[in-house]
Structure 1
Amino acid sequence: MKIRKFKMNESGLNRFFGPLEAKIMDILWNDVEMTIKDVQQVLDREKLTNFNTVMTVMNRLVEKGILQKRVAGRSSLYKPVLSRNEFLHTQSKEMTNELMDEFGNVVVSHMLDALEEVDEDLVAKLEQKIQELKKGR
């Protein structure tokens, strides 16, 4: 699954999704499987939206391959295809690969500059990964 639009000026899940999509995904990542009505009721506590809007958005998320839908009796149950961590891992890897393909050395340089602002554990993991890559060559 590839997210087509990444929004630099947003934060969190809103970088990948529209505001309602992000709220729906957040709800579904905290539960097992839910019906449209279940999700709408959680959203309704915040007075956010009606059933038909939630149904439309959830079915579009199914079409995009982000949610899967299973029929159980007279109800349809929805759940994310990937866990939150799997989704974020996949999307960040895809973005990194695209940046590397398009901008190469510039991206590596900026990533190294950004390391000055991260904790030492992350730098140590990077050093370990570099050593593993060198051994593999």
Structure 2
Amino acid sequence: MSSGHLGKLQLAIMRVLWSDGESTVAEVHRALEPSHGLAPTTIATMLKKMEAKGVVSHRTEGRRFIYGPTVSEVAVTRSMVADLKERLFGGSAAALVSHLLESHDVDGDELAELREQLEQTQRDQGGE
């Protein structure tokens, strides 16, 4: 699976499929048309490319292809974050988190949540 390299449109299509479970080209087009303004043929072409990547599959119902995800949202997120971490931060999770904290507004609630997650990870790894 090369989900570490899904583009913006591919991710938008995956979100429709994760949300709906299975969809036809027309259904994906309807879901994306207001925000993306793409032709149904563009969606169909992209779904074929995504099937070649192994991130979606299809079944036939009459003359319609019904597409569904073959990878979970969690798996794609993990893969893409790992790819980003490796390419931009030399594999350092600390550098990635530091960058996020320094360059984005993180409110007190988010900091508390991050602190709690770090403490839980330390407990899980026996580091308390």
**TM-score band, normalised by the shorter chain?**
0.5 to 0.7
Number of matched residues? 121
Could you say which residue in structure 2 is the equivalent of 1:25?
14
Query: 1:39-84 CA deviation, whole Å, 9 max, x = no partner?
Result: 2234445681222222111111111122111223332110112333
* Paired amino acid for 2:97: M
**Aligned-residue CA RMSD (Å):** 3.3
Provide the C-alpha distance between the structure 2 equivalents of 1:45 and 1:111, rounded to a whole number of angstroms. Answer: 34
Answer 1 or 2: higher relative contact order, Cα 8 Å, separation at least 6: 2
Provide the C-alpha distance between the structure 2 equivalents of 1:103 and 1:32, rounded to a whole number of angstroms. Answer: 33
Superposition pairs of residues 35-46 of structure 1, within 5 angstroms: 35-44=24-33
SS class of match (1:119): helix
The TM-score with structure 1 as length reference comes to 0.63
Q: Are the aligned partners of 1:36 and 1:77 in contact in 2 as well (CA < 8 Å)?
A: yes
**Counterpart pick for 2:118 among 126, 130, 136:** 126
Identity %: 23
Query: 1:67-103 CA deviation, whole Å, 9 max, x = no partner?
Result: 111223332110112333442234324544x36x935
SS class of match (2:50): helix
Query: 1:109-128 CA deviation, whole Å, 9 max, x = no partner?
Result: 56357568442122122123
The TM-score with structure 2 as length reference comes to 0.66
User: CA separation of 1:37/1:111 partners in 2, compared to 1, >3 Å: closer, same or farther?
Assistant: closer
* Paired amino acid for 2:20: D
User: CA separation of 1:114/1:131 partners in 2, compared to 1, >3 Å: closer, same or farther?
Assistant: farther
The unaligned stretches of length 5 or more in structure 2 are: none
